[in-house]
Amino acid sequence: MFAHEPIEWPDEVEALVDRLESESAGRALNREERAVMDVYETVALLEEEDGLHGFWQSDVNHQRVIKSFELIDATALVDSLNASRWCQTRPEDRHDYSETEEEYLSTIEEELFEGMDELVDLVLGFMEEELG
């Protein structure tokens, strides 16, 4: 549906995520670790066919996820997430949107995917500074 190339996470991000997934069974993740996991998991959700609509219709903790993107300084993505918050109250099926709603959401998603271009660098910088 979208022309955006999926994010390819570097090995160091994948290794950290694998380690945190294993460790989370035995202990609570700290805020910085949770932020990395939230961003990683949310990107996969956003890259699915329903994009932002799917995110807002999912059962993730939306506020925590937005705060996680804020924590890693992904302001462009935070803006897109906040701008699409109205999707929470819309029909479950994205195909039920009016033409105007669909056009508006598509515009927000274009901005979201433009912001994703810098996400890998932001996550790597955050990992180095906060989890180093």
Helices 11-23 and 31-46: crossing angle in degrees, nearest 10, is 120
The share of the chain scoring above pLDDT 70, in percent, equals 98
Q: Domain count for the chain, please give it.
A: 1
**Domain assignment present for 125:** yes
The 10s digit of each residue's pLDDT in 27-85 is: 999 999 999 999 999 999 999 989 999 999 999 999 999 999 999 999 999 999 999 99
Q: State if pTM tops 0.95.
A: no
User: Mean pLDDT, the chain, as a whole number?
Assistant: 93
pLDDT at 23 over 70: yes
**Domain assignment present for 48:** yes
pLDDT at 93 over 70: yes
- Using alpha carbons, select from 40, 54, 34 the residue that is nearest to residue 8: 40
- Measure the CA–CA gap between 115 and 130, rounded to whole angstroms: 21
Range of the domain at 121: 11-131
